[in-house]
Amino acid sequence: GDQLVFYSRAHVDDGTFSAKDGNDRMQVRANYSSTSSNVGDNWTTVGGFTTLLLDINPTLALYGYPEVWTKYTITVAGVTRTVNGRFAFRYYVPEGEPDGNNASMIGVDEVSFTSK
């Protein structure tokens, strides 16, 4: 019943999107099994953050990431004992380099965790 709550939105320069601006994606992942700082060896790996909690715009659809601040509430489930868990926000966009076909930037704000 614990909850991770945050707001997120895509960056909009001039109020309009182009193909390069709109293909954003973010995952929220958890590590419930170790206190390791392993976040992965490269952009395709996740290290100890093996539990996917949320995937915003997983298909990289144009306009698939919200342009306005949007509230996300993740209810943590399946954890049956006390753990030293950690969460990761993963901006995960293949071909997202400066000259790539995807990615612009996103914002994350007002992150909170509530233990129920």
37-92 confidence digits (pLDDT tens)? 788 888 888 999 999 999 999 998 888 889 899 999 999 887 777 777 889 999 88
Q: Please tell me the predicted confidence (pLDDT) of residue 80.
A: 74
Three-state secondary structure string covering the chain = CCEEEEEEEECCCCCCCCCCCCCCCEEEEEECCCCCCCCCCCCCCCCCCCEEEEEECCCCCCCCCCCCCEEEEEECCCCCCCCCCEEEEEECCCCCCCCCCCCCCEEEEEEEEECC
Q: Please tell me the predicted confidence (pLDDT) of residue 83.
A: 75
Residue 111 pLDDT exceeds 90: yes
Q: Please tell me the predicted confidence (pLDDT) of residue 49.
A: 92
Q: Please tell me the predicted confidence (pLDDT) of residue 21.
A: 57
Indicate the pTM of the whole model.
0.84
Which residues neighbour 45 within 8 Å (Cβ) at sequence distance 6 or greater? Answer: none
Tens digit of each residue's pLDDT (9 = 90 or more) over 6-34: 999 987 766 555 555 568 899 999 998 87
Residue 104 pLDDT exceeds 80: no
